[in-house]
Amino acid sequence: MGGLDDLYQELILDHYRRKRGEGRLDDPTVAVDQNNPLCGDEIHLELGIEEGRIARLAHTGEGCSISQASASMMSEALTGRSIEEALAVVEHFRLMMHGKEPADEERLGDAIALEGVAKYPVRIKCALLGWMAAKDAIQTYQGNGNGGG
Amino acid sequence: MSTAATIDVAALRADFPILSRRVHGKPLVYLDSAATSQKPRPVLEAMDAYYRETNANVHRGVYELAAEATARYEDARDAVAALVGAPREGVVFTKNASEAINLVAWAWGVRELRPGDEVLVTEMEHHSNIVPWQIVAQITGAVVRFAPVTPGGELDMDALRGMLTGRTRMVAVVHASNVLGTINPVAEIAALARQRGALSLVDASQSVPHMPVDVTALGCDFLAFTGHKMLGPTGIGVLVGRPDVLDRMEPFLGGGEMISNVSVEGSTWNDLPWKFEAGTPPIAEAVGLGAAARYLSAVGPAAVRAHEKEMAARMLDALAEVEGITIYGPRDPARRGAAVSFSLPDLHPHDIAQLVDQEGVCVRAGHHCAKPLMRVLGVGATARASAYLYNSPDEIDVLVRALHSARRAFGGR
């Protein structure tokens, strides 16, 4: 299938087939659900936050290769980060998806492979789903009296 | 009805300018007509001619141009009325099928439904025949009930009969499912509703474009469909209502056109169907829809149906050859239209749609605005290929080859 090589890179398909961070936590600090009403993709994301850091992260969901691979890459990119750093990485990823910032591999890790998705406007939402869930989870956590940090 | 049992697809395709274009260097294979149909030249030309030759507001001016515009607008109503066997005063132009159903939900439902009254829909409805009723139920205290779908993708008629009670005031049911392709026995359902003293509404968005539909024979009180799925433009839909029922209803939207007299003390309403057409209508779109209705009448709805039955059979057979595929809906082409939903293991519908697009093939992926049905099927999304009168069997072969190729791209076994 010529022409789609940047969309369906081997790294993306690898994350799709072997999702990192998939599952549930025993005692999540915060859990959120996000879905894409246009296509029905869903993610359930749980964070275990310790001393202002994302110590653990787990996700389950259903969706296309892009949304699922992206959630897998997101779990690697955000685990271990402080919640402020994580929010900044999410924002960087969002801007990259909209073609407004060049991808920073140090912050994104494997998720840099998703840069090509920006060329397929209808798939950007797929790629963003997990990351928006992460932002929602962190902001929910902050809104529960854990703000600022 | 037309005596022609078959369609000359090649000749007919020449009427559709878009079908000769290429996508990603490949010939366009358009298999998403359940989402929207392509438009034949007579429709495009009628709309263009309307603007070039007779553009004026309708039902107002005394001058020649306005009279011609009004005539074309009302001719379109006659063409639609003739296509579905309705009296012209029962043909109300709306924005789309959703607005047609909302019209009934608001103009009838909000005024007539009482707490505990029931609106019976089915699990295979498009959101457009669910959400308006839910909104009206919220306002009135009525209850929306869902008749179940069998594992084979057909309406459970025994269950539906059991759910039709003295509390049922409206039965709103889809004629042909946009996901499963299933053709429902709507004449029987309308008769059952009438026996119970309930009104009936048929969502005919996926039937009027594809098969003979005679609203009088169906016996329903309302029939809703949209222009853009039946070779017409977007922005125009139709509510066909039984004139005596429409007559008893209050207006939906208020404004210009729909009045008989307006004074500071109050207003009175225009005659049918204009009582339900507030404001300047989408005139060019109506003219386009009229041309579409004439085009369909000329080809012959029975011939369209015969062609699509063959296409459905061909698609079901060809898709069944793809390893691991799940096909939803009835297997008997006589019981279904040519919209076929399917899924593949380890290949999400979005990825299917994206991958086959590279071969020029347009299929839909997602929940098809039928989330309750998706839940019944136990999936979040499906891929759907839907054929129309301009599709040829060769195009199904292109789809199937593209699916094989998509499976290989994802390392399918």
- CATH code: domain of residue B277: 3.40.640.10
Based on the fold, state whether residues B253 and B267 are members of the same structural domain: yes
**Which of B346, B366, B405 is closest, CB to CB, to A39?**
B366
Q: Looking at residue A147, what is its pLDDT? A: 60
B13, burial (CB in 10 Å: exposed 0-12, middle 13-18, buried 19+):
middle
Share of chain B above pLDDT 90, in %: 94
Catalytic one of B369, B376, B399, B400: B369
* Cα distances (Å, whole numbers) of residue A66 to A111, A123, A137, B410: 11, 8, 21, 12
Kindly list the residues from chain A whose CB atom is less than 8 angstroms away from the CB atom of residue B398. none
Determine, yes or no, domain membership for B2: no
- How many structural domains does chain B have? 2
**Domains by residue range for chain A, with CATH:** 10-146 (3.90.1010.10)
Instruction: Kindly report the average pLDDT of chain B as a whole number.
Output: 96
Based on the fold, state whether residues B223 and B88 are members of the same structural domain: yes
**Distance in angstroms (rounded) separating the CA atoms of residues B8 and B21:** 20
**Distance in angstroms (rounded) separating the CA atoms of residues A109 and A74:** 9
**Distance in angstroms (rounded) separating the CA atoms of residues A145 and A132:** 21
Based on the fold, state whether residues B280 and B351 are members of the same structural domain: no
Determine, yes or no, domain membership for B4: no
Helices B97-104 and B131-140 pack at an angle, to 10 degrees, of 20
Q: What is the pLDDT of residues B335-389, one digit of tens each?
A: 999 999 999 988 999 999 999 999 999 999 999 999 999 999 999 899 999 999 9
User: A63 and B354 in contact by Cβ < 8 A?
Assistant: no
Domain that holds residue B143: 44-297
Based on the fold, state whether residues B383 and B396 are members of the same structural domain: yes
Say if residues B258 and B274 touch (Cβ distance below 8 Å).
yes
Instruction: Kindly report the average pLDDT of chain A as a whole number.
Output: 92
pLDDT band at B5 (very low <50, low <70, confident <90, very high): low
Q: Looking at residue B412, what is its pLDDT? A: 61
Helix (H) or strand (E) holding A91: helix A83-97
Helix, strand, coil percentages in chain B from 3-state DSSP, rounded to 5: 45, 20, 40
**Which residue from B minimizes the CA distance to A14?**
B410
User: A63 and B411 in contact by Cβ < 8 A?
Assistant: no
Kindly list the residues from chain A whose CB atom is less than 8 angstroms away from the CB atom of residue B366. 38-40
Query: Residue B164 is which amino acid?
Result: L
Q: Minimal Cα–Cα distance from B189 to chain A, Å?
A: 31
Q: Minimal Cα–Cα distance from A55 to chain B, Å?
A: 31
Q: How many residues does chain A have?
A: 149
Nearest to B157 by CA among B131, B191, B132: B191
pLDDT greater than 50 at residue B68: yes
Q: What is the mean pLDDT of residues B39-67?
A: 95
Among the candidates B297, B329, B364, a domain finishes at B297
pLDDT greater than 60 at residue B4: no
pLDDT band at B411 (very low <50, low <70, confident <90, very high): confident
User: B411 and A13 in contact by Cβ < 8 A?
Assistant: yes
Q: Which CATH number does the domain housing residue B353 bear?
A: 3.90.1150.10
B369 has catalytic annotation: yes
Q: Looking at residue A149, what is its pLDDT? A: 45
Based on the fold, state whether residues B84 and B208 are members of the same structural domain: yes
Tokens of B380: 């979040």
Based on the fold, state whether residues B338 and B378 are members of the same structural domain: yes
User: A4 and B355 in contact by Cβ < 8 A?
Assistant: yes
Among the candidates B279, B297, B315, a domain finishes at B297
Q: What is the pLDDT of residues B204-235, one digit of tens each?
A: 999 999 999 999 999 999 999 999 999 999 99
Q: Minimal Cα–Cα distance from A5 to chain B, Å?
A: 10
Based on the fold, state whether residues B286 and B310 are members of the same structural domain: no
pLDDT band at B2 (very low <50, low <70, confident <90, very high): very low
Q: Looking at residue A86, what is its pLDDT? A: 98
Based on the fold, state whether residues B235 and B349 are members of the same structural domain: no
**Distance in angstroms (rounded) separating the CA atoms of residues A114 and B370:** 30
Task: Establish if B162 touches chain A: CB-CB under 8 angstroms.
Answer: no
Based on the fold, state whether residues B311 and B288 are members of the same structural domain: no
Kindly give, in sequence order, each residue whose CB lies less than 8 Å from that of residue B114, ignoring residues fewer than 6 positions away: B140, B141, B142
Residue with tokens 């059991």: B162
